[in-house]
Amino acid sequence: MTTTRLSARQPRVAQQRMAQQRLIFALDVASLAEVKEYVALLKDEVGLFKVGKQLFLHGGPQVVRLIQQKGGHIFLDLKFHDIPRTVANAGIEAARLGVRMLNVHAAGGFEMMQQTMIEINKVCKAERLHRPTLLAVTVLTSLNKDDLKRTGVTAGVEQQVARLAKLAQEAGMDGVVASPLEILRIRRECGERFFLVVPGVRSKGEVWDDQKRVLTPEEAIQAGADYLVVGKPIRDAADPREAARQVVREMADGLTRTQRGAADVERSALV
């Protein structure tokens, strides 16, 4: 699948279509009935559905297949963090499920990330599978500098995020998950062809909940995000479909106003 990085020079309709493809809805629900409801509502409004630990433990692989049967694509957000062989084997099974994205914790180390990428590549080639985009989680958006200090990390959040992003890139990962506030630093350190998947976005006036490092969708796109992850503001809206459309409009506004002409290049996408 070929895609074009989000660009201000594209017509407005094309920008909105591109923005919609790059919106990931966090399917943080507790039942298959809710999965069916939200996928039916949003499969034409968002690009991917993020399946996290709670939902996967509740529904197992069945929930992934259910979303796929209804026409949705999956970002499997299980944040694997274990010894290299264990993570690599888990990643292989995720690839066999047909997910479009999956992630591991960058803090698991270079060998864990590299081996996971190598083994998934090998299996996907041998079994003729679509290889999912492999992402590394840097620093959770719920953490700030004080939280890191309590875990023994003395570097500031931005420095730690940049360090882990570079490590992930060196290990061959496709991109990282990071907060909006570190987008510019990662772009500077890792370049334009490194995927940035960004949670922690909220429209102006919305409650931040447990997010501590936040930008609006428009600001995040202007800064250089490739994909935005949005959950509660859409899920809890009176009209989830319209809430998703509003986020897409804000993302498209970011495209219209951005001056990131250097990023206007076509590239082969893994997603």
For 135-166, write each residue's pLDDT tens digit: 999 999 888 899 999 999 999 999 999 999 99
For 249-270, write each residue's pLDDT tens digit: 999 988 777 644 434 333 334 4
Q: Which of 50, 53, 79, 232 is catalytic?
A: 79
Please tell me whether the overall predicted TM-score, pTM, comes out greater than 0.75 for this model.
yes
CATH number at residue 216: 3.20.20.70
- Is it the case that residue 78 has pLDDT exceeding 70? yes
Cβ(264)–Cβ(7) below 8 Å: yes
What radius of gyration do the chain's Cα atoms show?
18
Q: How many domains does the chain fold into?
A: 1
- What domain range is 162 assigned to? 2-268
- Tokens representing 191 are 């370049």
Contacts of residue 109, Cβ cutoff 8 Å, sequence gap at least 6 = 84, 167
pLDDT of residue 247: 95
For 89-107, write each residue's pLDDT tens digit: 999 999 999 999 999 999 9
Q: Is residue 79 annotated as part of the catalytic site, yes or no?
A: yes
pLDDT of residue 206: 56
Tell me what percent of the residues of the chain surpass a pLDDT of 90.
76
Indicate the burial class of 93 (C-beta count within 10 angstroms; 0-12, 13-18, 19 or more): middle
